[in-house]
Amino acid sequence: MSEYKNPRDLWFTYDIVAEDPTTHARAGVLHTPHGDVPTPIFMPVGTKATVKGILPRQLEELGTKILLANTYHLANRPGADLVAEMGGLHDFMQWHGPILTDSGGFQVFSHGDFTKLTDDGVTFRTVDYDGTYVHWTPETNMDIAQKLGADIVMQLDQCPGYPSPRSFVERAVDLSSMWAERCCKAHTREDQALFGIVQGGMHLDLRLRSLERLESMGDFPGYGIGGYSVGEDHETMFETLAPLASEYMPEGKPRYLMGVGNPTTLVRGVSCGVDMFDCVLPTRTARMGTAFSSEGRLNFKNACHKRDHRPIDPECGCPVCTGGYTRAYIHHLVKQREMVGSILLSLHNVYYLLDLMRRARQAIIEGRYGAFLSDWMGSPAAGDY
């Protein structure tokens, strides 16, 4: 009789196809039931089962390989039971590629005084919905995640802000580790991968403690790196992120830097060995009237664009930049608060980050990521922090 293999071990594998000789960057392929994900990759965020202003078909045309949805928001509206009744997230939102859902923990802990924390779980007030109090344990969080039905789900963790006392961050590591073990036991859906999350703030020793505990629990198919982009500056982040990703994270598992989406941070993160990124930045900044570009970030509220015949970025191949839309037209839309302006900028910004990671991947495969990084850091685009 052949030995039983969990289907999860067959569906969620990660192949490293190239490693850069001068940096820690690597290119890989993450296999999921809804398709393969080439890494490094940027994942657009569809918070409430939609990437704001962009249809699923357009996301596919832009080159999106995997996107995110938010467990906290979907648990509140329309509710995990309704999503399950509608066939799960893929059918509900008509996106049939891979999906990752976060745990919702970041949103829960952002409620501050409306949050009460115990070993058992977290009680919070849904201040941005109907104001009711909700209690989540790792077990109830996994139940929600399994009903939503994403390909990849994240453990429930505590995400401390910056700055926080070391004792508070240490407690968050202990609690997140305990919750990770309970999430593992509660998570039973075989067509879904559960990622552990490394916490520890800006303390490398606490990060390594968190990682060691996660590795001792079992075979997570991948690891999130949480607790960054919570108030610290970028250089402070890289002081611990760089050694964590390049020297200590497991080599054969995808490394997911959570909630970070600035172009330069992506390029530098890849050089440290990070594989996956997500952030609301491209669509949020688009709704504010700004765009990523090879010149740095452009603010289309500014009058300098009023008579500019050029596209957003002459070097960009997105459908906006190649479709005849001028800076003058987008300036007009932004000034008049027309929704098409936000849509066009969202399309461009999402494409920009997807294409940046495509080019980064190709540079890794060709063994020239060190030069790619150097060229980027010497370009005007690198100033967009």
- Return binding residues: 102-106, 157, 199, 227, 316, 318, 321, 348
Please tell me whether residue 9 adopts helix, strand or coil conformation. helix
355 is an active site residue = no
DSSP helix/strand/coil, 130: coil
Q: State yes or no: is 128 an active-site residue.
A: no
Q: Answer yes or no: are the C-beta atoms of 108 and 115 closer than 8 Å.
A: yes
DSSP-based three-state secondary structure for 43: strand
Catalytic residue among 20, 102, 275, 313: 102
Task: Name the active-site residue from 20, 151, 275, 278.
Answer: 278
Binding residues for Zn(2+): 316, 318, 321, 348
Q: In what order do the strands lie in the sheet with 133-136?
A: 115-117, 122-125, 133-136
Cα distances (angstroms) measured from residue 122 to each of 71, 79, 221, 271, 326: 15, 19, 26, 36, 49
* The two structure tokens encoding residue 196: 């552990």
Phi (first) and psi of residue 373, to 5 degrees = -65, -45
Say whether the peptide bond before residue 263 is cis (omega within 30 degrees of 0): no
Annotated binding site for substrate: 102-106, 157, 199, 227
∠ CA 196-175-232, rounded to 5°? 75
Q: Which residues contact 135 (CB under 8 A, 6 or more apart)?
A: 121, 122, 123
User: Catalytic residue positions?
Assistant: 102, 278
